Structure 1
Amino acid sequence: MSQQTLIEMKGISKSFVGNKVLNEVNFEILASEVHALLGENGAGKSTLMKILTGIYERDEGEVFVKGEPVHFQNTKESEEAGIAVIHQELNIIPYLTVMENMFLGREIKFGKTGFLNTKKMIQLTKEYLGQLGVEIDPLATAGNLSVGQQQMVEIAKALSVNAEVIVMDEPTAALTDREIERLFEVIERLREQGVGIVYISHRMEEIFKVCNRVSVLRDGEYIGTRVIGEVEYDELISMLVGRELGTLFPERDVDVGDVRLKVEGLTSDVFRDINFEVKQGEILGVAGLMGAGRSEIMQALFGYREIESGNIFIDGKKAKIKKPIDAIKSGIGFVTEDRKEEGLVLSMSVRENFTLPNLDDVSKQTVISSQKEHEFVDDMIGRFNVKTSGREQEVKSLSGGNQQKIVIGKWLGINPKILILDEPTRGVDVGAKKEIYQIMNELTAQGVSIIMISSELPEVLGMSDRILVIHEGQIGGELNRDEADQEKIMYAATGGE
């Protein structure tokens, strides 16, 4: 028995200011399937979904819902047609309750009285969350929930409007391993109920685990659709990048030097007695479960978090780091996990973002030299292969991979001795990942010491010279590159000796 076609998009084209971002793209979603939409940053995935949901007007092509032609003018019309979107940046209003978020804009009232039927909304909230197998108090403040719980509320909200198609954009980007497993269980349950799911992710292992089919876009072009189970990883990579990518992780052939950073007995309210060292030209991978204290330790090194006791030594000398400016003066750069909130000023240009930590180098007696600034920014754009229309383009309009290159690149102007990278390739496509890995190799070849926090174990294993495993605020283990594997890392991360 063939599956019903819920959505069919034919020959979709879209241009912005003369730049064609989609060119005759085809895409379909069947009932009871999880269909991956794959493509590098800037390939057109988001634009295609925004056309499907009525945010953007298509220039050419047709959209059909259950065989009927549609032309949505806004998201309300697409929702009424049974299409819901779970955005990467969740649309939860943190100070409202779970119930209020569920029924925002469509509250249930007692007839025409205008009085809210709170009891009914609480009951329905419990029922929709129950369909997902989760128990969350409808009267809990949404902002107090974990990201995974907030995501379940968003999915339950989609069910409450009888969504037959749910678009999930990078749904696991900020989830713990346990929350990811719960999400996969929910996806399977939705699929069994006949819901069609569009699954957008850069994590290839997830696509092979939960999806039935995968469609690939490249530079706004539709490359093809494959059935999972009938396609090899290498073929998908080739479809994605238009060439053989080769080994994702470059060879590590760096002569490691003397100890550059030494940490002794570092203790705060969330971690205790942290001792480790990093050598010149070395990549120290930091692994552990989410919430173990990995980021907090590195924030303390950067002066962003108060420490109760312990010492930090750089090149054998004790460093006094009380705030980030102290760390920067000591030669430490920090690429934060959350590039949108903490790593970039999205409303500013490429030029301004590159320049911010490097004002002293492009200024003469506190006045910025346009010539120096332009030379510096153009050098960075070229060095990092940032795909941009020019130095004045707003950073918020760049792809995630290009934003991440700027976050990393802006710290190199200070010529750091130590560069801390917190989740350096999160939300970045496979091509940009390889470019970032190559940049890391080049930096270590120049003697920079890198500390890389990552939740992706293949990345930790592929790029680290040594691996530090954090468990509940303490060091759970340390592994050399040659002896490390995923099982040993997870054993140490969960409390094994």
Structure 2
Amino acid sequence: MSKDYILEMKGISKSFPGVKALSNANLRVKPGEVHALVGENGAGKSTLMNVLLGSIEPNDGEIIYMGKKVLFHSPHEALLNGISMVHQEMSLIPSVSVAENIWMGREPEFTRLGLISEKKRLGRTRALLDKYHINVDPKSIVRTLSIANMQLVEIARAISYNPRILIMDEPTSSLSDREILLLYDIIKDLAKEGTTVMFISHKLDEVFKLCDRITVMRDGSYINDFAADEITKEELIAQIAGRKISEMYPKIPCEIRDTVLEVRNLSHKGLFKDISFRVRSGEILGLFGLVGAGRTETMEGIFGIRSLDGGEIYLDGNKVTIRSPKEAIRHGLAMVTEDRRRNGIISNISVKYNISLANLSRISRGNIWIRKTKENGDTKALAEKLAVKTPSLNQPIGALSGGNQQKAIIARWLYTNPKVLILDEPTRGIDVGSKSEIHRMISALAGQGLAVVMISSECEEIMGISDHVIVFNNGHISGEFDRSEFNAKRLVQSAFDVNFKEVHEGINEENE
């Protein structure tokens, strides 16, 4: 064992029924460094971290931590030994406060004579949040927070354990540029204090900006590791994918035809106001803006998830009233939601049932009996079309990688044969290879005449495959651009209400 490393994982292997999840995987991490673990979905990154945390017992291999051979049997045991993790999917309890969530299980630290001192707990929480400039009220009930602020609370909770190693799995996936800058500051401060940060991300730009070293995994195996300044982005993509990805945004020219969906002056008090736009057959309409700018809320209003205070919705020129997702589906709308874990998948049921869930009437006889043969055939065809990797369609969808879960959810909505497909952050947490596949699929669907509305916080993605872009800022439309007018500076200025140079050069300066 080299004294240069705080953690070494050697020859780790793990098999599940029908799947070789890890095969002779290796990882070496130096103390105090920010170390990226990258790879496509299903590459084994999360499985390797779950082996480290004690959630999964390996079939083979050894773990050396702080100079000693270890094998933790639970995440709690790992936590007690200084290893904490911020998971990609949030695990906060929504019905209690921020302070209660952060110190959950450690109430004795604030207890005297059997009573919890709320004043002491709130004080500790404020001190923690203030130290890292997280602007969240400790008294707030978690369910009232934005997804971005929930993520920051998750991070604060992990930091509160003062870990020697902090693992972050896609920590910026639901954060705006401003919050990403804040997270960068937090990570740099932790590294200066001697904390080792394991950083799992599909956003390669931030990997290069933030990390000291990079380990690449593919198909459950260790591929390579190197200093971040020893490799280019293009070389890293080739290492990750095992092939060269020359076109991340494969835009297929499509004939744009008649208007399918038009909305006029949609409003919901406190969320969005006077929103008007149209999307045509064969068109990909991109909605760009900050997290919380009103894009998701507007589309939820159109899809019947939330009520509208005013405005009109037209489909194929006919005014319609949509009061529920069921009515939206009947009118030919489909919506892939932003948070697949909370609002998309049902994790403990099969991939097959998750795909067929929104279209049971098609596969049922008399709306009573499910025609199993048709369900099996249709879901198999969709899963193959979208390249959903699973040992079986009967596998619980929660066991799949994030990218394959997302593909299955898109398959669910394609199964309804929609006229309008709404995609809310469709590549959030998706690896570079799957991103390209999903972009190509979206473009192909538009080519088949589908009207597509895509919400994305990634400027490159929005410009890469959209025909038209609408920018949201604080619940209003702040900009509108045809493809010939696309310009990153214009889009960012419209979305963030700050200078483009300030935001993006600020990131570079903070990481020099």
Give TM-score scaled by structure 1 length: 0.93
Structure 2 CA distance, aligned partners of 1:6 and 1:159?
18
Structure 2 CA distance, aligned partners of 1:88 and 1:402?
15
Instruction: Tell me the residue number matched to 1:212.
Output: 212
Structure 1 CA distance, aligned partners of 2:30 and 2:460?
32
Structure 2 CA distance, aligned partners of 1:299 and 1:345?
20
Q: Deviations over 1:263-307 (max 9, x none)?
A: 222222222222211111000001111111101111122122222
Q: Secondary structure at the residue paired with 2:421? A: strand
Q: 1:404 aligns with which of 393, 403, 406?
A: 406
Structure 1 CA distance, aligned partners of 2:79 and 2:234?
37
For residues 8-27 of structure 1, what are the structure 2 equivalents within 5 Å? 8-17=8-17, 19-27=19-27
- AA paired with 1:48? L
Instruction: Tell me the residue number matched to 1:341.
Output: 342
For residues 77-92 of structure 1, what are the structure 2 equivalents within 5 Å? 77-92=77-92
Q: Which moved more, 1:465-474 or 1:359-368?
A: 359-368
Structure 2 CA distance, aligned partners of 1:401 and 1:7?
28
Q: Residues 92 and 375 from structure 1, CA distance in 2 versus in 1: closer, same or farther, beyond 3 angstroms?
A: closer
Instruction: Tell me the residue number matched to 2:229.
Output: 229
Structure 1 CA distance, aligned partners of 2:64 and 2:382?
45
Instruction: Tell me the residue number matched to 2:416.
Output: 414
Q: Residues 122 and 305 from structure 1, CA distance in 2 versus in 1: closer, same or farther, beyond 3 angstroms?
A: closer
Q: Contact (CA 8 Å) 1:3, 1:30: kept in 2 or not?
A: no
Q: Secondary structure at the residue paired with 2:229? A: coil
Q: Deviations over 1:384-428 (max 9, x none)?
A: 111122221211111111111111111222221111111111111
- AA paired with 1:358? N
Instruction: Tell me the residue number matched to 1:244.
Output: 244
Q: Deviations over 1:10-40 (max 9, x none)?
A: 1111112363211111112212211011111
Structure 1 CA distance, aligned partners of 2:452 and 2:4?
51
Q: Secondary structure at the residue paired with 2:383? A: helix
Q: Contact (CA 8 Å) 2:251, 2:440: kept in 1 or not?
A: no
Shift of 1:127: 4.2
Q: Deviations over 1:318-347 (max 9, x none)?
A: 223232222222211111112222222222
Q: Contact (CA 8 Å) 2:420, 2:451: kept in 1 or not?
A: yes
Shift of 1:436: 1.0
Shift of 1:72: 1.6
- AA paired with 1:220? G
Structure 2 CA distance, aligned partners of 1:253 and 1:227?
40
Instruction: Tell me the residue number matched to 2:330.
Output: 329
Gaps in structure 1 of 5+ consecutive residues: none
Q: Which moved more, 1:388-397 or 1:148-157?
A: 148-157
Structure 1 CA distance, aligned partners of 2:357 and 2:144?
33
Instruction: Tell me the residue number matched to 1:292.
Output: 293
1:186 aligns with 2:186: yes
Q: Contact (CA 8 Å) 1:11, 1:23: kept in 2 or not?
A: yes
- AA paired with 2:202? H
Runs of 4+ displaced beyond 6 Å: none
Structure 2 CA distance, aligned partners of 1:465 and 1:226?
39
Q: Contact (CA 8 Å) 2:97, 2:138: kept in 1 or not?
A: yes
Structure 1 CA distance, aligned partners of 2:383 and 2:93?
37
Structure 2 CA distance, aligned partners of 1:447 and 1:205?
34
Instruction: Tell me the residue number matched to 1:365.
Output: 366
Instruction: Tell me the residue number matched to 1:261.
Output: 261
Q: Residues 111 and 333 from structure 1, CA distance in 2 versus in 1: closer, same or farther, beyond 3 angstroms?
A: closer
Q: Contact (CA 8 Å) 1:129, 1:152: kept in 2 or not?
A: no
Q: Secondary structure at the residue paired with 2:273? A: coil
- AA paired with 1:197? V
Q: Which moved more, 1:115-124 or 1:171-180?
A: 115-124
Q: Secondary structure at the residue paired with 1:272? A: strand
Instruction: Tell me the residue number matched to 1:395.
Output: 397
Shift of 1:256: 1.1
Q: Secondary structure at the residue paired with 1:337? A: coil
Shift of 1:98: 4.0
Identity in percent: 42
Q: Residues 371 and 55 from structure 1, CA distance in 2 versus in 1: closer, same or farther, beyond 3 angstroms?
A: closer
Instruction: Tell me the residue number matched to 1:484.
Output: 486
Q: Deviations over 1:115-170 (max 9, x none)?
A: 55666555544444444244655555455455454444444444443311100111
- AA paired with 1:294? R
Give TM-score scaled by structure 2 length: 0.90
Instruction: Tell me the residue number matched to 1:356.
Output: 357
Q: Deviations over 1:449-472 (max 9, x none)?
A: 101011111110101001011122
Q: Residues 30 and 142 from structure 1, CA distance in 2 versus in 1: closer, same or farther, beyond 3 angstroms?
A: same
Instruction: Tell me the residue number matched to 2:312.
Output: 311
Shift of 1:448: 0.6
Q: Contact (CA 8 Å) 2:151, 2:174: kept in 1 or not?
A: no
- AA paired with 2:361? D
Q: Contact (CA 8 Å) 2:358, 2:412: kept in 1 or not?
A: yes
Q: Contact (CA 8 Å) 1:5, 1:31: kept in 2 or not?
A: yes
Structure 2 CA distance, aligned partners of 1:428 and 1:279?
27
Q: Residues 113 and 199 from structure 1, CA distance in 2 versus in 1: closer, same or farther, beyond 3 angstroms?
A: same
- AA paired with 2:182? R
Q: Residues 152 and 451 from structure 1, CA distance in 2 versus in 1: closer, same or farther, beyond 3 angstroms?
A: closer
Q: Residues 113 and 65 from structure 1, CA distance in 2 versus in 1: closer, same or farther, beyond 3 angstroms?
A: same
Q: Deviations over 1:23-75 (max 9, x none)?
A: 11111221221101111111111111111112222221111112221122222
Structure 1 CA distance, aligned partners of 2:268 and 2:110?
53
Aligned pair count? 496
For residues 270-289 of structure 1, what are the structure 2 equivalents within 5 Å? 270-289=271-290
Q: Residues 433 and 303 from structure 1, CA distance in 2 versus in 1: closer, same or farther, beyond 3 angstroms?
A: same
Structure 2 CA distance, aligned partners of 1:135 and 1:317?
45
Q: Which moved more, 1:118-127 or 1:363-372?
A: 118-127
Instruction: Tell me the residue number matched to 1:39.
Output: 39
Shift of 1:205: 1.4
Structure 2 CA distance, aligned partners of 1:161 and 1:228?
28
Q: Contact (CA 8 Å) 2:128, 2:156: kept in 1 or not?
A: yes
Shift of 1:364: 2.9
Shift of 1:247: 0.6
Shift of 1:183: 0.8
Structure 2 CA distance, aligned partners of 1:210 and 1:480?
34
Q: Residues 22 and 465 from structure 1, CA distance in 2 versus in 1: closer, same or farther, beyond 3 angstroms?
A: same
Shift of 1:113: 5.4
Q: Secondary structure at the residue paired with 2:409? A: helix
1:203 aligns with 2:195: no
Instruction: Tell me the residue number matched to 2:505.
Output: none
- AA paired with 2:236? L
Shift of 1:309: 2.5
Q: Residues 252 and 102 from structure 1, CA distance in 2 versus in 1: closer, same or farther, beyond 3 angstroms?
A: same
- AA paired with 2:198? V
Structure 1 CA distance, aligned partners of 2:440 and 2:189?
41
Structure 2 CA distance, aligned partners of 1:109 and 1:309?
50
Kindly report the root-mean-square deviation, in angstroms, between the aligned alpha carbons of the 2 structures.
2.4
Structure 1 CA distance, aligned partners of 2:138 and 2:272?
33
Q: Residues 111 and 100 from structure 1, CA distance in 2 versus in 1: closer, same or farther, beyond 3 angstroms?
A: closer
Q: Secondary structure at the residue paired with 2:346? A: coil
Q: Secondary structure at the residue paired with 2:6? A: strand
